[in-house]
Amino acid sequence: MDGRRWRVDQRDDSAFDLSDVEDGECITLSVDHVERAILNRECDVTLPVAAAKNRELLEYTGGFERLEQLEEDAQREAKRRLVVMLELEALEAEGWQLTQRALDKGGVLRSRLLARVRSRSKDASFTPALRGGKATLNFNWPQGRTLLRYYKLFQSFGRNPVVLADRDQLKGRREPRLSPHQERFIEYVLNRWNSKLQPQLAPLVAGAQELFDVPPEEHARGFCFPSITTIRARLNAISAVVKTIGREGVRHATNRLGAGSTDVRALKFGSRVETDQCYLSIFSLPNGRMAAKVIDPDTTDEELEKDEVRRVWLHFMVDVATREALAWIISETADEDHSAALVRMATRDKTREKIRYGCKHDPAPPVGLRVVSTDNGSAIRNGGIFAALLGSGSTLILGRTYHGPDKPFQESLFGPTQFQVLNFHSGYTGSRPGELKEVNPKGSASLTHDELYGALTRYFIDEYPFRPHRGTGMFGATIRQKSEEVLRLYGKIDPPSQRDRCLHLGVKREATTTSEGVRVFGLPFNSSALQRFADGQPKKVLVHLDPDDLRRVFIVAQGEKEVIEAKLSMTVFNDLTLEEAIEIMEEATRSNPKQRALHEGHLREAIADRARRSGFFPDSRDPSNYQTIAQLEKRAARILGVSTTSSAPMKHLVAPGEIMERHEVDQERPSSTSPPRSDLSAPKAADEGAKRIVLPPTKETKF
């Protein structure tokens, strides 16, 4: 019960006391629980007597419990003997006494037994055949003693016919032929053989014989190394899984020999999807010519140039319930942006791809993603994808990196895609390096990246859904047939709204509001609600844009409770994706370079003529036209100059009220440039004797 073997130690009216046969764990279960498990066929009950009898049977037959486990010849011989045993049972039931003498050749019951066996069985081996003029039997009838021994075995083991077979597998020597040290040598060699370097057995045995330590006691017993035939026989008896793990690693063994899944993991369309990336085995090049160009990694654009040869990644998403292809894109790297684009493609309508690449049938409808199963690669294992999936209502399940059985439905699609689509195009590289002899994949590349994507799109829409699928739960039905059945019986997960797509799965860019709204990726968006929020002021906002639908964006800002909706004001881009719109804007600037250079020449000529006619620009050859700056610099120096006052005492100053008085003043004043004298601080003798003249006051003016 529950995958474990329990021994009943004690039972009362309400419970069982059980102990695990292997580890001895003890539990108590109610009688109702055990009886319910027996009723639901979730518990097998084996009596001790039956278990002992079964062990005895296995010991007698060498491990065989049923007739179907034997070889075909052994089964045929056991079935013939079974017919004889059944007739012996019938004779005994009729009252005949089964004795050795009666069953011997010429005995009373032997002829009767032969006649009854021939009449009951249609096996030709019981009928005499003429060989060389003498009647012979294909079936070798044993003597009476052997017949009785078979009959008793048949009865003692519960009429199990497996005991009637010959036990040839038990013949021969049972004890080991090799000594313990010889067994150790074989184990030493096999351990060295299970290496990632994958050595050959013959040189490995030769080297091991030279370095293997043999004690003196073994030499005294006549030790000899086992032959390479014996070692190879032991090697062949090792499991293929063990040998693959030892020589090629656990990861390779898991992907190659790991147990698959036969469980129906989803019933509703969109309830479980799987996604992964694959490096496509094909080169793409527009014109097939090879050329080399020196580029600077720091300044070169990440986008592919027109004639650049490169292998690309295929990002793919499949629905588990129907096996429908939900999304597929190609890129030069496996990163977060392309994983987000894959999720957006699965949740939107794909009619654009159908029309663009000439598909005849309808692609899978848009669907919501409830559970997304993927590996642990860097394209999915990042915060952006986690936030996008969780925000849109999806649950993410991460598998183990390089473990294909974790995503069996996804991994099984890459092989058919390679051999049914890529294998027929020029530039195909093969499954591994050097697989295609005398083929130059780069030199023969002729597909553009868009043509390659078109070939994959037509395969996933027009061909893949209409192939019979024999996977788990498909039962040979086509993918489109299974999809219609699932939609009719179980329905689908509703895809997210456009608002949720923009907010959770879209691209976010910061912008500043203007009178024309906001501009992201060179595209203008505006609305009345946005203008009321901006109120004529430049404000920073965060714009959420769906690259697959440019008609609407949703804007959030700090401190604003409402999510603002804005529409594309340049309606010429309404039906385009973001990539197509940017490509058109770039094409407008880089198309027809000769015509663009001609237009630039016309523009320069017009600007020169207008400047010449205005008269504002003087002749550049006249030196006088260069003096204006020098004159302005001199005037600026004078304006910026600062005047200073001398700190020497001014003797011509008078006290207040004496401005009109006249005094004798020295005729000679000292010059400001004259050298200083040592007696300047001492009063002069002439000054002490100077006379003071007082003028009469002026009472009348002369004017």
What confidence score (pLDDT) does residue 411 get?
77
Does residue 41 carry a pLDDT above 80?
yes
What confidence score (pLDDT) does residue 697 get?
63
What confidence score (pLDDT) does residue 286 get?
46
Q: At what angle do helices 201-211 and 180-193 cross, to 10 degrees?
A: 130
- Average pLDDT for 204-230: 91
- Average pLDDT for 563-584: 89
Does residue 392 carry a pLDDT above 90?
no
What confidence score (pLDDT) does residue 285 get?
54
Beta bridge partner(s), residue 255: none
- Average pLDDT for 416-436: 80
- Average pLDDT for 639-655: 64
Dist CA 223 CA 178 (whole Å): 10
- Average pLDDT for 228-238: 93
What confidence score (pLDDT) does residue 358 get?
92
Specify whether the backbone of 176 is left (phi greater than 0), alpha (psi in -120 to 50) or beta: beta
Locate 574 and state its tokens: 């309404």
Burial of 473 (0-12, 13-18, 19+ CB in 10 A): middle
Residue 128: pLDDT band (50, 70, 90) is low
What confidence score (pLDDT) does residue 464 get?
92
Does residue 647 carry a pLDDT above 70?
no
Residue 295: pLDDT band (50, 70, 90) is low
- Average pLDDT for 150-174: 88
Dist CA 235 CA 189 (whole Å): 10
Does residue 173 carry a pLDDT above 50?
yes
- Average pLDDT for 587-610: 80
What confidence score (pLDDT) does residue 298 get?
62
- Average pLDDT for 146-171: 90
Q: What pLDDT, in 10s, does the model give residues 261-285?
A: 677 788 899 999 988 888 887 776 5
Does residue 532 carry a pLDDT above 60?
yes
Dist CA 565 CA 288 (whole Å): 47
What confidence score (pLDDT) does residue 290 get?
45
CB 81 within 8 A of CB 150: yes
Does residue 673 carry a pLDDT above 80?
no
* DSSP state, residue 432: S
What confidence score (pLDDT) does residue 247 get?
92
CB atoms < 10 A from the CB of 180, how many?
9
- Average pLDDT for 642-667: 62
* DSSP state, residue 26: E
CB 410 within 8 A of CB 274: yes
Does residue 703 carry a pLDDT above 60?
no
C-alpha dihedral, 51 to 56 to 61 to 67, nearest 10°: -40
What confidence score (pLDDT) does residue 242 get?
92
Residue 642: pLDDT band (50, 70, 90) is low
Q: What pLDDT, in 10s, does the model give residues 437-452?
A: 777 777 777 778 888 8
Q: What pLDDT, in 10s, does the model give residues 465-514?
A: 999 988 888 888 999 999 999 999 999 999 999 999 999 999 999 999 99
Average pLDDT of every residue of the chain: 82
Residue with the larger pLDDT of the pair 656 and 453: 453
What confidence score (pLDDT) does residue 306 get?
53
What confidence score (pLDDT) does residue 283 get?
74
